[in-house]
Amino acid sequence: MAAILLETHRVAKPWGRHALWPGFENPDPQDDPIGEVWFQTPKGFPDELLVKYLFTSEKLSVQVHPDDSDARRAGYPRGKDEAWLVLAAEPDSTIALGTNEPLDAEQLRTAALDGSIEHLLDWKPVKPGDYFYSQAGTVHAIGAGITLIEVQQNVDLTYRLYDYGRPRELHLEEGVAVSRAQPFVPLAVPPSPAPDRTLLAKGPKFVLERWRQCERTITLPDGEAAWLVPVSGSGTADSVEWTAGQCVAVTGSAAVNVGSDGDLLVAYCGETLADIS
């Protein structure tokens, strides 16, 4: 099949929640809170990207991810660019991206050790619909009270710089070495190609679009895939039906139908899909 519905993997986190998001079953009150839901591609399927939902009740650690070169030197297949689409946020919710002023390695290390790093970050207020593409090397932290979709390069590689006194391992030497501790500059976004096809980001590692009601055929190069992430509504990819809270991966060629109530994220590597008609 050119399109497959991906399996979900729920991940308990101390900073997670018991009240998730429409399309996801809430955990029992006596169970651990759920912080993440991952969509897993089967063995042998292109796996360059990973799609997650995040549900936060506390601030996540201040962290950084290496780029491809630094990750490979550390024995990993790739680095980690990531992007977030905010679905829901409490009125005072924030996401930190970059620092307010440039910091050198020693300043960053000192700030991480004494906790002042929390106050040197650029904490941006967020609301539903906000979108950010965070390149590898960006010092960042996701705040409390947020539900979001994360699209990332598929690697489990995070260097924690600061964790608010929680008893978890930090990775100061590795993290400081790969950090670009400077003000965040969003990527320039080219014009969208159609009214129902909004280009959110054209990053160096993947592209993310948002499609509304439409019927399209997408064709991908051999060995590449696209990930369809429904934000709301329903639709189909070939014979696979999808709805919000699911994720479909596509290889080869597939006919995609986004229903009248549909809002669909489309993520893929490379600069363009081979063909969209």
* pLDDT score, position 2: 86
The 10s digit of each residue's pLDDT in 233-246 is 999 999 999 999 99
Q: Is the pLDDT of residue 259 over 60?
A: yes
User: What are the DSSP E strand ranges found in 212-262?
Assistant: 214-219, 225-232, 234-237, 240-243, 248-251, 253-258
* 197-276 placed in CATH 2.60.120.10: yes
CA distance 71 to 80: 8
Could you state, in order of their start, the residue ranges of all structural domains in the chain? 56-178, 197-276
CA distance 267 to 183: 26
What is the mean predicted confidence (pLDDT) over 25-44?
A: 96
Angstrom distances, CA of residue 136 to CA of 2, 12, 234: 31, 25, 33
Among candidate residues 160, 180, 210, 216, the one labeled active-site is 160
* pLDDT score, position 276: 65
CA distance 168 to 162: 9
Q: Is the pLDDT of residue 272 over 70?
A: no
The 10s digit of each residue's pLDDT in 119-173 is 999 999 999 999 999 999 999 999 999 999 999 999 999 999 999 999 999 999 9
Q: Is the pLDDT of residue 1 over 60?
A: no
* pLDDT score, position 273: 64
56-178 and 197-276 share one fold: yes
* pTM score, whole prediction: 0.95
Residue with tokens 């948002």: 210
- CATH of the structural domain 56-178, one choice from 2.60.120.10, 3.30.9.10, 3.30.465.10, 1.20.1050.10: 2.60.120.10
Average pLDDT score over the chain: 95
Q: Is the pLDDT of residue 219 over 70?
A: yes
Q: Per mean pLDDT, which range of 98-102, 140-144, 251-255 is the poorest?
A: 251-255
Q: Is 160 a catalytic residue?
A: yes
Q: Per mean pLDDT, which range of 68-82, 220-234, 258-272 is the poorest?
A: 258-272
What is the mean predicted confidence (pLDDT) over 26-43?
A: 96
